[in-house]
Amino acid sequence: MKLDWDCIRAILIALEDKPAPGSALDPANVGHWGAEDTSWHMLRLREAGCIEAIRFERPGVPVRTMATDLTADGYELLGNLRSKELWLRVCNEARWKGLELTFGTVRAIAQAVIAAMLTGR
């Protein structure tokens, strides 16, 4: 499965917006991707150190991941994804350079785009 950055963005925003600290974000309640796909993306975010999450495994039932909180890296990534303008510039830059969108390239491109925005380029 490929990373769906719109799903990742929706998970991070939903985590920041959840009303009760410490409560879990059910993957079935995030966007239109479906619980299994969203759960898979939550697991990738946990592996990347962007969120805290609980993984549930039971025989005969698809693995489910429930996100509980953003980490410092997660807040930083969200900062790079929240602004539609910044996110579109990151996507366009990656496409123009022929780069895959990974956690590392998104961070690197966002830093470069922000630096260019700050210097007026």
Q: Where are the domains of the chain?
A: 5-70, 83-119
81 close to 87: Cβ distance less than 8 angstroms: yes
Judged against a pLDDT cut of 90, whether residue 117 lies above it is answered with: no
At 1, is the pLDDT very low, low, confident or very high (cuts 50, 70, 90)?
confident
- Which of 28-37, 40-49, 59-68, 79-88 shows the lowest mean pLDDT across its residues? 59-68
**Prediction pTM value:** 0.88
Q: Each residue of 20-58: pLDDT tens digit? A: 777 899 999 998 999 999 999 999 999 999 999 999 888
For residue 76, give Cα distances in angstroms to 34, 79, 108. 26, 5, 12
The region that residue 66 occupies, defined by phi over 0 for left and psi between -120 and 50 for alpha, beta otherwise, is beta
65 close to 46: Cβ distance less than 8 angstroms: yes
Judged against a pLDDT cut of 80, whether residue 65 lies above it is answered with: yes
